């Protein structure tokens, strides 16, 4: 009865975020346009039609590579663990993570969705857990590294932000640094964490709060064993860790460089494009601690605040809307479409296999 109630609540939460996220996206775009009424959708369309097509194409490609590189990173880790996922499977793992992270608070959607597809492909729970923890660790670490690169490119980039933006960036850096350490600890101390979890389950069972069946503990032990073996394999094989970081860093970099390409497509100069990239690195750090789908609203505020120091405010609004439209809204829409197609394909294959049996 308790499990049914929890499942029902979880289902309502998912429905809420699926409905709320598009509304929040519409509200965010409307709010951005309201801040500068001289910019309209017609102006944005006209701006796109007059962009330098070479730079705009590079921006579009780099946005798409954000999806591709995550899939490559996940496949490289699974290959190191002894699995052989197909190229499309890697893409599906990536798109499911990106799509569900965008329509739910970041900690609740993406990773479980990716885990679902991995386990449907026969990857053990322990390996899935280790893979996702390693990916999250490299994802956080990549953002920190890009922040350091940002300071090297332009030491004064941070100081031109507003006080609120500075606070968000500082807090974001602290959160990302803490997350990197936590994920590293989880990867190195999996046995200890699973032991704590087992004790907690036993405590709940002894107090008759939840009567866990024996199969739950058997599954937990199997996951613990698989996780430990995968963690040891990753720790021994440094090349897997290096490749994981490289691909994840490229994923972060491809999304962060897109606004600089768009700036150049709008007629900006090369020297200022480096400053755009530098600021975008810090902006990415700044909106990471916000538990809102896609950091909608917060990311937009940080981008307008950062870009306004480099160009006229009207141009900053246009660049922000184009950047978010390409790197977030279109990226999420494409990811949602691929995820849906992948889900349907896997359901059809499962049905066909059932019929054959």
pLDDT of residue 1: 46
Query: What confidence tier does 283 reach under pLDDT thresholds 50, 70, 90?
Result: very high
Query: What confidence tier does 354 reach under pLDDT thresholds 50, 70, 90?
Result: very low
Percent of the chain scoring above 70 in pLDDT: 73
Give the model confidence (pLDDT) of 98-111 as tens digits: 888 877 765 456 78
Q: How far apart are CA 118 and CA 128, in angstroms?
A: 7
pLDDT of residue 352: 52
Query: What confidence tier does 126 reach under pLDDT thresholds 50, 70, 90?
Result: confident
pLDDT of residue 98: 87
Report the 3 state secondary structure along 192-225: HHHHHHHHHHHHHHHCCCCCCCHHHHHHHHHHHH
Q: What is the Cβ-side half-sphere exposure of residue 237, based on CA atoms within 13 angstroms?
A: 17
Host H or E run for residue 91 = helix 87-103
Lowest-confidence pick of 128-132, 227-231, 292-296, 303-307: 292-296
Give the model confidence (pLDDT) of 6-20 as tens digits: 555 555 555 554 554
- Average pLDDT (31-54) is 63
Q: Shortest CA distance to 126 belongs to which of 193, 177, 178, 37?
A: 193
pLDDT of residue 316: 86
Which pTM was predicted? 0.79
Query: What confidence tier does 245 reach under pLDDT thresholds 50, 70, 90?
Result: very high
**Taking a C-beta distance cutoff of 8 angstroms, is the pair 300, 325 a contact?**
no
DSSP state of 51: S
Q: Shortest CA distance to 252 belongs to which of 53, 66, 11?
A: 66
**Taking a C-beta distance cutoff of 8 angstroms, is the pair 255, 64 a contact?**
no
Lowest-confidence pick of 63-67, 78-82, 198-202, 293-297: 293-297
Distances (CA, A) of 121 to 15, 92, 117, 125: 26, 11, 6, 11
With a CB cutoff of 8 Å and minimum separation 6, the contacts of 68 are 91, 94
Q: Is the pLDDT of residue 35 over 60?
A: no
Give the model confidence (pLDDT) of 150-173 as tens digits: 999 988 889 889 999 999 999 989
Sign of CA dihedral 289, 290, 294, 296: negative
Q: Is the pLDDT of residue 3 over 70?
A: no
Higher pLDDT, 15 or 337: 337
């Amino acid at each position: 009865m308790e499990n049914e109630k929890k499942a029902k609540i979880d289902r309502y939460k998912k429905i809420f975020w699926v409905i709320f996220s598009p509304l929040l996206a519409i509200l965010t775009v409307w709010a951005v346009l309201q801040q500068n009424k001289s910019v309209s959708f017609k102006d944005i369309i006209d701006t796109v039609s007059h962009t330098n097509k070479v730079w705009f194409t590079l921006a579009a490609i780099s946005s798409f590579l954000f999806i591709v590189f995550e899939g490559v990173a996940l496949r490289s880790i699974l290959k190191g663990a002894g699995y052989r996922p197909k190229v499309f499977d890697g893409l599906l793992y990536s798109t499911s993570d990106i799509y569900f992270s965008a329509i739910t608070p970041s900690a609740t959607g993406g990773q479980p969705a990716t885990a679902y597809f991995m386990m449907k492909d026969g990857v053990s729970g322990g390996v899935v857990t280790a893979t996702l923890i390693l990916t999250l660790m490299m994802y956080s670490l990549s953002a920190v590294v890009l922040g350091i690169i940002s300071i090297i490119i332009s030491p004064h980039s941070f100081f031109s932000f507003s006080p609120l933006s500075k606070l968000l960036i500082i807090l974001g850096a602290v959160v990302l640094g803490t997350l990197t350490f936590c994920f590293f600890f989880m990867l190195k101390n999996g046995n200890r964490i699973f032991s704590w979890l087992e004790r907690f389950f036993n405590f709940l069972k002894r107090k008759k709060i939840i009567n866990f069946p024996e199969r739950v503990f058997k599954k937990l032990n199997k996951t613990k064993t698989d996780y430990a073996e995968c963690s040891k394999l990753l720790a021994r094989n440094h090349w897997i860790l290096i490749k994981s970081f490289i691909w994840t860093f490229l994923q972060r970099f491809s999304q962060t460089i897109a606004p600089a390409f768009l700036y150049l497509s709008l007629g900006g100069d090369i020297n200022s494009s480096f400053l755009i990239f530098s600021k975008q690195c810090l902006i990415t750090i700044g909106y990471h601690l916000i538990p809102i789908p896609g950091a909608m609203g917060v990311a937009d505020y940080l981008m307008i605040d950062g870009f306004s120091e480099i160009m006229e405010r009207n141009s900053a609004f246009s660049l922000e809307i184009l950047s978010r439209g390409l790197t977030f809204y279109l990226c999420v829409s494409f990811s949602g479409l691929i995820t849906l197609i992948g889900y349907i394909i896997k359901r059809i294959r499962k049905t066909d296999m059932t019929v054959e049996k």
